[in-house]
Structure formats: C-alpha cells, structure tokens
Amino acid sequence: MHHSEGSTWHDAVVALLATAVALGGALAHAFEHPTKIGMTREHCFIVQRAYDGWKQLAYVLAVELAGILAVIVLYRSQRAVFWAALTALGFLVTAQVIFWVWTYPANVATEQWTAQPANWEALRLQWEYSHLAGAAFQVLTMAALIVAVLQRTVR
C-alpha cells in the first residue's frame, strides 16, 4: 500500500475497523438464517430476545459513516480512492435504507419481537431477508473501502 504525502497508515483505520465490526453483526444474521428461518413461532420469539442490545450497533455505524466520509474528504484529489470510498458510502447507505424500510417496520410491528401479531410469519420473512440483503451490502461496503485504501498513491 502506498501512502500519499503526509498521510500515515492510520488515516483509514477507523473506517476499516468500524466497517469490520459492523460487518460482523451483519454476517451473524446471514449465517444464522438457514437455522432460524424454519423455527416454530415459539422458538423464533425466544431466539429474537438475543437481539435486545443490538441497537448499540448504531454507534458503530455512526463511526463507520464518519470514517468513510473522512476517507472521501482526505483523498478527494485521488480519483480512484475518492470513487471507491464514495461507492462504499453508497453501499452503506443502501444497507441502511434496507434496514429502515423493511427491518425496522417488522421490529415495530412485533414490538421488538415481544408481541406476536397474526402476520408474524410474513414479518419474520421480511426481517430475515432484509437482514440478508443488508449483510450483502455491508460486504460490498467493506470491499469498496478496501479497494479505496489500496488505491492510495504517493504524490
């Protein structure tokens, strides 16, 4: 990896680490999907309690966003870095849109999975598949950010 004049190895480490931590949560949902999707109502609602503290991930996502924006600003004069980081930002925004349009409404409808509405199975599918889509976009976010960091050049 080459560094631009005045840069150091740590100028993108916050973005990379925060993205890696966020990716961990996203991939956890993806990897558990095959097991969870076939659970009975009773088991599904019991397992959902494991996510009670996951709203703390919002702090990680805020740091991830700030880190990616910092890479965009710091390397705005290096087109390859800028566009790869901007692409990472686009993927992150897409993951968040998926969450707020599909995942969050399922959480609200089930009162954070403490209430069992008649359409709970449809809500579970919406929740599970939106998490799969979000995980895919988090993977793409990480990939684009890695490309951005590897594109840095000496001036």
Average pLDDT by stretches of 10, the chain with 155 residues: 55 92 95 94 93 92 96 94 98 99 97 95 97 98 97 70
Is 113 part of a structural domain of the chain? yes
Is 34 part of a structural domain of the chain? yes
Q: What pLDDT was estimated at residue 10?
A: 75
Q: What pLDDT was estimated at residue 2?
A: 52
Range of the domain at 109: 9-150
* 31 close to 147: Cβ distance less than 8 angstroms: no
Structural domain count, the chain: 1
Separation between Cα atoms, residue 76 and residue 73, nearest integer Å = 5
* 30 close to 37: Cβ distance less than 8 angstroms: no
Taking the mean position of all CA atoms in its chain, how far away is CA 44? Answer: 23
